[in-house]
């Protein structure tokens, strides 16, 4: 499984509330990290779906804040990953090369309800039209 080697310097935060989630794209992790994450208690996962309901990939987020977008189509230029949180959207970073993207979330992980993807020119301050979305639920 290929992994992204992209690092984004900016960390998005929806508010200045203590513990509000922030996130960033992270350097590639070892290939076994995804399998290990999916087997850990407390991991939540979901299927990314387009507006028409077609699956476009999967996402997983562990209790330690390690997350992955998996099996996604090659991203279009200007593809951005966001967290869907109880405090509002949080920009994670731009997805540039790989169908597997490693990201890290810090702060209140329970506030993260899902993830979504947008395709936009430039660095967005607020999300534009959503191209795919996944709600997170416990892995069974």
Instruction: Please tell me which residue, 74 or 101, carries the higher pLDDT value.
Output: 101
Residues 129 and 117: their CA atoms lie apart, in Å, by 9
Enter the pTM of the model: 0.82
Beta strands in 5-87 (DSSP E): 22-25, 44-50, 55-61, 66-70, 79-85
- Split at pLDDT 50, 70, 90, the class of 72 is confident
pLDDT in tens, 112-137: 999 999 999 999 999 999 999 999 99
At 25, list the tokens: 């794209």
What pLDDT is stored for residue 3 in this prediction?
Answer: 36
């Amino acid at each position: 499984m290929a992994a992204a080697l992209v690092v984004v310097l900016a960390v998005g935060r929806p508010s200045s509330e203590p513990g509000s989630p922030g996130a960033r794209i992270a350097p590639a992790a070892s290939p076994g990290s995804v399998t290990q994450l999916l087997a850990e208690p407390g991991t939540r996962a979901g299927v990314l779906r387009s507006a028409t309901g077609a699956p476009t990939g999967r996402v997983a987020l562990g209790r330690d804040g390690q997350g992955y977008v998996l099996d996604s189509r090659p991203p279009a230029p200007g593809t951005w990953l966001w967290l869907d949180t109880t405090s509002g959207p949080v920009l994670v970073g731009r997805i540039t090369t790989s169908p597997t993207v490693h990201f890290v979330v810090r702060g209140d992980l329970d506030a993260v309800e899902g993830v979504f993807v947008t395709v936009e020119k430039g660095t967005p301050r607020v999300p534009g039209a959503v191209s795919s979305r996944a709600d997170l639920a416990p892995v069974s």
